[in-house]
Amino acid sequence: MRTGLIKHSQYTELLRSVPSFHSLPEDVLSKLTDVLEETHYSDGDYIIRQGATGDTFFIISEGQVRVSQNNAASDEQATVKTLFKGDWFGEQALKGEDVRTASVTAVGDVTCVVIDRESFKQLTGGLDDANNKQYDSEEVKAKLQAEADFFSS
C-alpha cells in the first residue's frame, strides 16, 4: 500500500504495539507497513465470520468491533468482547490456523490495517522466529550479565 510518510510511521508504531511484533527489527516493521492494507467497515459489517477460513490478521486503527461466538445449544450469537483502537484480532491466522474461532463485526465506522499470513511469514519467518529472537536476546543478556559479574568480582 502507498502511504504518506506520516501515515507510514503511524502504522509502523501501531504494528509495534502488538506484542508479537514488538521485538521485530525496524526494517522488518517498515516492510510490513509497506505491505499492509487499510480496510473500512460500516456499522454491523462482518469483518470475520466464525467458522469461515481466513488468512488475515487485523489491527484496529479507528473505531471499535464486537467479537461474538455462536452458542451451539441456543444458536444465538453472544458478545464475548468489544475491541478498540490499537487492539488486534484474527491472530489465529498467523499461527497457521485458518478456521475463525469467532465472528467480528463493526460497531460504527471502523478502519483496520490488515496483514496476510504469507506476507507476515515471508517478512518475519513466522511467529516462532519472532519469539526466538526475543529468547536469543534474553540469552545474550544473561551471558553479558554473567561476564559483567565475573569481571566485577
- Binding ligand CMP (rule: CB under 6 A), the pick from 102, 106, 110, 112 is 102
Report CA 139 to chain centroid distance, whole Å: 26
**Block residue for cell numbers 519472532:** 130
Q: Is 52 in the site for ligand CMP (CB under 6 A)?
A: no
- Establish if 142 lies at the interface with ligand CMP (CB under 6 A): no
Q: How many helices (H) and strands (E) does the chain have?
A: 5, 6
Instruction: Tell me if 91 contacts ligand CMP by CB under 6 A.
Output: yes
Closer of 7 and 49 to ligand CMP (Cβ) = 49
Choose the binding region for ligand CMP from 22-30, 92-100, 112-120, 128-136 (rule: CB under 6 A): 92-100
Is residue 48 within the footprint of ligand CMP (CB under 6 A)?
Answer: yes
Residue 35 in contact with residue 1, Cβ under 8 Å? yes
Which of 82, 76, 83, 101 has the alpha carbon at shortest distance from 91? 101
For residue 142, the minimal CB distance to ligand CMP (Å) is 33
φ, ψ for residue 92 (rounded to 5)? -55, -35
The conformation of residue 99, written as its DSSP 8-state character, comes to B
Q: According to CB under 6 A, which one of 9, 62, 79, 81 is a site residue for ligand CMP?
A: 81
Phi/psi of residue 143, nearest 5 degrees: -65, -45
Asked if 21 interacts with ligand CMP (CB under 6 A), we say no
State which residue, 34 or 45, has the beta carbon closest to ligand CMP.
45
113 near ligand CMP, rule: CB under 6 A: no
Quote the CA–CA distance of 25 and 115 in Å, as a whole number.
17
Binding site for ligand CMP (CB under 6 A): 48, 67, 80-81, 89-93, 100-102, 104
